[in-house]
Structure 1
Amino acid sequence: MIIPRLFLFISFFSLVLCNEKFNSHVLPRPLILETTQLRELDNEVQLQCTSWRFGVEANNLNPWKTIPLECADYVKDYMLGRAYRLDLERVSNEAGIYAKSLELSGDGKDIWVFDVDDTLLSHLPYYADHGYGLEIFDPAEFNRWVDKALAPAIEPSLKLYKEVMGLGFKVFLLTGRSESQRSMTEENLINAGFQNWEKLILRGSEDHAKLATVFKSDKRSEMVKEGYRILGNSGDQWSDLLGSFMSNRSFKLPNPMYFIV
């Protein structure tokens, strides 16, 4: 008797399904609307944060202390994603094309200036623990990280570094780090693959009160007075590039995590 009853049940259930009018809106309509609204809101945040980052890189928003709270995830995704890598490669490639287009004098006076922090050495490991720029900069905490000499190379910059040296440029490293950090800076640079630079210039005691733009302008002035020709300059901050005695051409690396005057 079990089999006939089962057959009757299946037949009855099939008949009910056939006569049931199909409702294409099984999910409540408000849920669909909320999902759409959330997607539109997310798109708007992406657009606003992309616009903010453009303003930062174009030097239209200076000065600023931290990234906007609503852009925290956006900046994190950018720094850890493919876009940041592509932007770095774009800068390096364009700088390399420019460097190859120059005819050097051969007298050892044609130089390329590089900043160090987030130009040659990456501080992403540090900023990953500090909100990717969401926290106000803490010099003491950052210096403890610098003293470890563990910052990895920014690979596209290492490629450019080796390229310009191979072309015959003298390389000057101009950093806002203190002279007291020379040994760990040299150690970190060498371990990351940067070698054979001509000069590593750090802040002396007389430089600590100077804005970065003033300090680096003063040091470039000294280079020019010594007969050097600054043909290229690479930095992640506008203060690495602007001011007086600027390079014939400068190359700005992306950095939406912090701003240095």
Structure 2
Amino acid sequence: MRLLFPLLLAAILVVATTGSEEEFLNQIHALQPRYGGGGTPVQGLSCLSWRLSVEAHNIIDWKTVPQACKDYVGHYMLGHQYRKDSEAVVDEALVYAQSLQLGGDGKDLWVFDIDETTLSNLPYYAKHGFGVEPYNSTLFNLWVDDGKAPALPESLKLYGKLLSLGLKVVFITGRPESQRNVTTKNLHKAGYHTWEKLILKESSYTGYTAVAYKSSERKMLEKDGYRIAGNIGDQWSDILGTYVGNRTFKLPDPMYYIS
């Protein structure tokens, strides 16, 4: 079993270099996840229990995935369960969105995060690892600058349904303002064709936590007369703080933690 993951990873990397990003996305999500615990990484927890505690926000401020859970997290992210978990979140968001009574003035909003919410960076993590090593901003920014991140299919589905219901979409991302052009092009390429605002992190927010930064931007949206009906992200910092909206939805992401 220990030889299985390296062989699968090698296979998908061949796809990444020879096929389109869409083909790569389909390939990595077709793999089966491994449900094994893979050791006792934190206070005697199995890797499955560790991931549950991360998603429930019981384990916070962690820097890297425990080494013993490297294969487990990789197989989860590359397998069907990650997609099923994402689909479950989006299905609940859709039920809620369809129940809304909109104001009819174009001021009802849904806020989306970008990385691991709107766009999937799985091709990058499949190549560079699943959160065991410390975050490498240089390598990740090179990936972002390529503008090839595919859409997380479940989020793209939600996006389309929200627009059809008459909601406006706002993206709030921790990406810096210097990445506006490439982010705009990547969103369009991935299928996100229109939005009300694309908010990137300006230099004036240097030193701010993600919670403080995103709370401040949501506050400004509401001051401009918008109503935040829903808010979805992969990090707890996307949906905590103030002016979070009437309902929040947390997508799975056991690869990294942003405060």
Identify which range, 130-139 or 166-175, moves more after superposition: 130-139
More helix by share: 1
Residue correspondence of structure 1 range 76-225 to structure 2 within 5 A? 76-225=74-223
Following superposition, the deviation at residue 43 of structure 1 comes to 5.5
Change (3 A) 1:43 1:168: closer
Following superposition, the deviation at residue 207 of structure 1 comes to 1.4
Give me the whole-angstrom Cα distance separating, in 1, the residues matched to 2:128 and 2:90.
Answer: 27
Residue correspondence of structure 1 range 61-80 to structure 2 within 5 A? 61-80=59-78
1:45 correspondence with 2:31: no
- Tell me the equivalent position of 1:257: 255
Following superposition, the deviation at residue 134 of structure 1 comes to 0.9
TM (norm. structure 1) is 0.82
Contact 2:89/2:249 (CA < 8 Å) preserved in 1? yes
In structure 2, stretches of 5+ residues that fail to align are: 1-35
How many aligned residue pairs are there? 220
Following superposition, the deviation at residue 138 of structure 1 comes to 1.1
Give me the whole-angstrom Cα distance separating, in 2, the residues matched to 1:180 and 1:52.
Answer: 35
Give me the whole-angstrom Cα distance separating, in 2, the residues matched to 1:110 and 1:71.
Answer: 41
Q: What percent of counterpart residues are identical? A: 55
Deviations 1:216-242 (A, max 9, x none): 000000011111111100100001100
Code of the aligned partner of 2:86: L
Deviations 1:130-155 (A, max 9, x none): 22111100112111110000001100
Following superposition, the deviation at residue 215 of structure 1 comes to 0.3
Identify which range, 204-213 or 154-163, moves more after superposition: 204-213
Following superposition, the deviation at residue 177 of structure 1 comes to 0.6
Following superposition, the deviation at residue 260 of structure 1 comes to 0.5
Give me the whole-angstrom Cα distance separating, in 1, the residues matched to 2:258 and 2:206.
Answer: 14
User: RMSD between aligned alpha carbons?
Assistant: 1.2
Change (3 A) 1:44 1:260: closer
Change (3 A) 1:162 1:43: closer
Give me the whole-angstrom Cα distance separating, in 2, the residues matched to 1:77 and 1:114.
Answer: 26
Give me the whole-angstrom Cα distance separating, in 1, the residues matched to 2:164 and 2:46.
Answer: 42
Q: Secondary structure at the match of 2:141?
A: helix
Deviations 1:180-234 (A, max 9, x none): 1000000000000001101000011201221111000000000111111111001
Runs of 4+ residues deviating >4 angstroms: none
Change (3 A) 1:43 1:186: closer
